[in-house]
Chain A
Amino acid sequence: MGRANRPVSGRQAWWLLATALAASAPLAQQVPLWLSLAAACAFAWRAALTWRQWHLPPRWLLVLLVMAGTVGVFLQYRTIMGRTPGISLLVVFLALKLLELRAARDAVATALLCYFLVLGQFLFTQTIATALLAGITVLITTASLLAASDDRPQPQQQLRRATLMLAQAMPFMLLLFVLFPRVQGPLWGLPQDRFSAVSGLSDTMAPGTIARLSQSDAIAFRVRFQGAIPAQSQLYWRGPVMPAFDGRSWRVAQTQGAYPTVPYAGSGTPVDYEVTLEPHGKFWLFALEMPATLPADSALTVDYQPIARQAVRNRLRYTQSAWPEAIAGEKESPAVLRAALALPEAGNPRTRAIGAAWRAQHGDDGAAILAAAEKLFNQQLLIYTLNPPLLGADMVDEFLFDTKRGFCEHFAAAFVFSLRSAGVPARVVAGYQGGEVNPVDGYLEVRQYDAHAWAEAWIAGRGWVRIDPTAISAPSRINSNLAAAIPAGEGLPFLARAAWLKDLRYRLDAVTNGWNQWVLGYNPQRQRDLLASLGMSAPDWRSMTAVLSVLCGAVMLGLTAWILRNRLRVDPALAAWRRFTRRLAKRGIAWQSWEGPQAFAERAAAQAPLHAVGIREIAALYARLRYGPAPQGSDLEQLKRRIAAFKP
């Protein structure tokens, strides 16, 4: 049938151009610059084709351009698979499809390409703004499909109809979103570039690594506590544990097996909480010290660091609890202790000498050596700063005795080094410390600038003991936050300081958190929880599908009834006339449908001579209303009055 081959009209071409622009403009930052420019040229060419009614470019030229675009993308990325190359290819296809709008089916193909590009945007960002932008793109695309079917209505009419149709589609979207059985991705391997640009802790710590994070106010994770929020100074979020030291940087240990459950006994009241972790592309999870339970699909390394089975590539939500007073590692394995004592062959002679002196003085008494180390840090009057001077080869010595200025990684490294040189097993723990409670939604927000490093020492009989050397020199860092501990004037993220913006920021964060929790974080787990809380017992895909079908059917029925409502609006004059004839019919004077009003009036007047005048007047009024030129509203009122007053 001919309809798929109808040529594309000028108006349709403009619509499609607008659609392509709306779909590809948000991706301009993601695709290479040359491609953005080339696409802009193609769009301009399309506009000229429509404006000047030029002939479409020949097919061989388009084939050539597609090949050139593909080769260009390949040269740029050395592959055409993956996220950005794939999107770039789609942009190439879309731009060139616009240059060969021959028939109606090309219009449909263009619209479908635009839908794919909308999905492409979501690969990069899924914020509320992106969603709104995508909504506008879908609206324009729908209007453009409408125009492809019938291009006569004005643009605003098309947009109005598209809005109406999308509004009618909304109930289906909501139902499907909530009830469509979710599958946890990935279904197949993810391209490696999916998380190329996320910030967070890394598995090594050298001077400066954590200080760099302090420049970022990005959310690392959000926590909701079941009960009261513990004191700020207790909020140590345990991350990667780093026992290995090579003289300059600290690293996490090679995996040596893991505990499936927590290996130490609990003590004190557990703290229950739920973490919503932003994706960071690494395996570790953050847990309040010391972890009492493990989230699903995770384990505890030998140094009590919870790790997930898969790298955290999506926003992850898990519930956990903590024993703040647990004694961990009372009977530690010799291998772990050996690793916690290892020092490089040489370097930092001054610290080593002090360590040896402590050893000589206190012997095996770890607690005493610990107290001596704390005393040393106290005496040295170390300064906590974001801008420490550069350190040379003996960085611990230089920090402790020469520059005396450092960030938390300097403190932790120096402290662990001094303990090890005195023969006390110790290691660096990285993670986050503190967080801010958002008063709007009550979540504790932990940001990248809360990143921290502290030390852990093993004391016989007490297991692993947390010591935060930073707290010795800058207690306000631990008791309030970073902004309080850093001298004014040092560079901090604007939001970390500006108190007058806090309220606005809290609100924005609460909205973002709600969006993250309920829209972006709506995964199989949350779906099951929600449906169970709504009263579905054991929601699985079968019951979800059943409920979904029933509800969709109900919406469909409602929409059908609304859409097919056949408002047969009867002419009010005719309705009044029918009332009149019904009254006469009771008197035995039936109106025949083929009878004109005047003829009927004459017949009725003959049969009911008493009412002849009234009947004739009514008939004349009715005839004028129905058949006369330009009916008058006052006539209708008069007709209604006369008929109401007519009593045969």
Chain B
Amino acid sequence: MLAVLRHRMHETFVRWALRVRPPEPAPIVLTQRRVYVLPTRAGLAYATALGVILLGAMNYNLSLGHALVFLLAGLGVVTILHTFRNLALLEIRPGRCEPVFVGDVARFALVLKSQRPDARTSLRLFVNADAPLEIDVGPHASTLATLGVATTKRGWLPMPRATIETTWPLGLVRAWSYAVPDFNCLVYPAPAATAPPLPWGGEAARGSTRDGRGADDFSGLRKHQVADAPRHVAWKAVARQQDGPLLTKLFSGASAQQIWLDWNTLPDAITCEQRLAILARWMLDADAAGLAWGLRLPALQLAPDNGPEQLAAGLRALALYQDGKG
């Protein structure tokens, strides 16, 4: 009950503390207004110790005791400023975030940029307080910090609220701020562990040489590899350049194997998420086998192709598939 209340109060505070409606557009600058400072437990102990020393100095009329307390009190004030300065005006921008499968850890790469002539030391960045990242940002430099977030659902995963804090230099006060950048990770459905075999359709094929590449139409040149047939070496092109590498002619054509991964070929009993999982598994398998594959979803069709772009497009379609709309 108390924990719930505390959590709710904290959330209210954070909403107020962010000062902007999340998600925030990049770059997020931690302005003075949104950096908060409170003493840590060590800071409270320090303050208590100062109180005791002051009492002792008063009781014994120790002028130097007074001076000691006042110097340490001044140090306490100065450390507030230093801690605050360590964090204030830091810039946070979203960097890259590679798509992942459900169950994997989404890695949000944030770029922390400092415009200061001196370094920012011992910043802690975290989504979950148990696993903070320790970061330094050099003078006039940027640092990449990658926050891991567990995924449970396919689709776009917005980056959760990140807390950035520091207790540097003396550990007596903690300055912190929150950031919710406009930053999303694409989460693919997890491929099914067990799936029906790849749907070899009627267009199954004539023999092929390699990796979906046919032998009919000239499609380009690439660097010669030892295993390439000598008859495919582009002798003319080689002759044109001086001591260049050997080049191999590439051909493409219908000879590459081609399959269709079709939503509708799966039995009706299978649920939507299971279908997506099976399709994802097929795509990975087809890609691994070097097949050209096409995808048919209820409202979307991808022409057969292969390669990383095709795989990414297919998985993206699955990730963003919405039941009934596609």
Contacts and interface: CB of A to CB of B under 8 A. Distances in A.
Interface of A: 1-4, 104-105, 108-109, 112, 115-116, 118-119, 122-123, 126, 130-131, 134, 138, 142, 145-146, 148-150, 161, 165-166, 168-173, 176-177, 180, 182-188, 190, 194, 314, 519-523, 556, 559-560, 563-564, 566-569
Contacts of A567: 116-117
Given A3-B167, A108-B171, A566-B89, A123 B62 contact: yes
Contacts of A560: 81
A122 B58 contact: no
Nearest to A135: B71
Contact of B63 (A109, A145, A161, A519): A519
Q: Can you list the 9 inter-chain pairs with the closest CB atoms, starting with the nearest?
A: A172-B74, A169-B74, A176-B70, A108-B42, A185-B61, A173-B70, A169-B75, A173-B71, A149-B171
Nearest to B42: A108
User: Main secondary structure on chain B at its contact with chain A?
Assistant: helix
A289 to B, nearest CB: 30
Interface string B41-62: 1100110010011011111111
B105 interface: no
Given A4-B41, A149-B170, A566-B115, A169 B71 contact: yes
A282 B217 CA distance: 116
Contacts of B132: 1-3
A522 B68 contact: no
A171 B75 CA distance: 10
Interface residues of B, number: 54
Nearest to B129: A1
Nearest to A138: B71
Contacts of A3: 124, 132, 167, 171
B64 A168 contact: no
A563 to B, nearest CB: 5
Given A115-B72, A519-B67, A566-B115, 17 more contacts: A112-B49, A116-B52, A119-B57, A122-B62, A122-B64, A134-B64, A145-B172, A148-B171, A165-B79, A169-B75, A172-B78, A173-B70, A186-B59, A556-B81, A559-B81, A564-B88, A566-B116
Contacts of A172: 70-71, 73-74, 77-78
20 contacts: A4-B42, A104-B171, A105-B42, A115-B68, A119-B65, A123-B60, A126-B64, A131-B64, A138-B71, A145-B170, A145-B171, A169-B73, A170-B71, A176-B66, A177-B66, A185-B58, A185-B61, A520-B63, A563-B82, A564-B88
B68 A122 contact: yes
A187 B78 contact: no
A505 B57 CA distance: 30
Contacts of B65: 119, 122
B169 to A, nearest CB: 5
Contact of B66 (A105, A180, A314): A180
Contacts of B61: 184-186, 314, 523
Nearest to B170: A145
B153 interface: no
B130 interface: yes
B85 interface: yes
Nearest to B46: A112
Contacts of B55: 187
B210 interface: no
Nearest to A112: B49
Nearest to A188: B59
Interface string B111-129: 0000111000110100001
Contact of A126 (B63, B79, B89, B116): B63
Interface string B84-126: 1100110000000000000000000000000111000110100
A150 to B, nearest CB: 5
Contacts of A521: 63
Contact of B68 (A104, A134, A188, A194): A134
A281 B318 CA distance: 91
Nearest to A111: B46
Contacts of B282: none
Contacts of B56: 119
Interface of B: 32, 40-42, 45-46, 49, 52-53, 55-68, 70-75, 77-79, 81-82, 84-85, 88-89, 115-117, 121-122, 124, 129-130, 132, 140, 167-172
B58 A176 contact: no
A108 to B, nearest CB: 4
Residue of A131, A169, A176, A521 most packed against chain B (CB within 10 A) = A169
Contact of A108 (B46, B68, B130): B46
Contact of A165 (B78, B116, B130): B78
Contact of B77 (A116, A148, A556): A556
A168 B168 contact: no
Given A138-B71, A185-B60, A188-B59, A563 B45 contact: no
B115 A568 contact: yes
A126 B89 CA distance: 44
Contacts of B66: 176-177, 180, 182
A470 B68 CA distance: 48
Contacts of A122: 57, 60, 62, 64-65, 68
Contact of A119 (B45, B68, B89, B169): B68
B63 to A, nearest CB: 5
A173 B65 CA distance: 12
Nearest to B66: A177
A109 B72 CA distance: 15
Contact of B72 (A123, A138, A148): A138
B78 A169 contact: yes
A120 to B, nearest CB: 9
A524 B75 CA distance: 25
A149 B167 contact: yes
B74 to A, nearest CB: 3
A161 B129 CA distance: 29
A144 to B, nearest CB: 10
A320 to B, nearest CB: 21
Contacts of B75: 142, 165-166, 169
A145 B170 CA distance: 5
A165 B82 contact: yes
Contacts of B72: 115, 138, 169
Contacts of A556: 77, 81
Nearest to A165: B78
Residue of B52, B71, B73 most packed against chain A (CB within 10 A) = B71
Contacts of A118: 68
B60 A149 contact: no
B73 to A, nearest CB: 6
Contacts of B89: 564, 566
B53 A115 contact: yes
Contacts of B77: 169, 172, 556
B71 A116 contact: no
Contacts of A134: 64, 68
A520 B64 contact: yes
B50 to A, nearest CB: 8
Contacts of A4: 40-42
Contact of B74 (A104, A171, A183, A184): A171
Contact of A569 (B117, B122, B167, B169): B117
Contacts of B68: 115, 118-119, 122, 134, 138
Contact of A161 (B58, B60, B70, B169): B169
B74 A168 contact: yes
A124 B52 CA distance: 18
A3 B131 CA distance: 11
Given A2-B132, A142-B75, A165-B169, A190 B60 contact: yes
A559 B65 CA distance: 25
Nearest to A121: B64
Contacts of B124: 3
Given A118-B68, A126-B63, A520-B64, A150 B169 contact: yes
A184 B61 CA distance: 7
Residue of A105, A173, A180, A563 most packed against chain B (CB within 10 A) = A173
Contacts of A520: 63-64
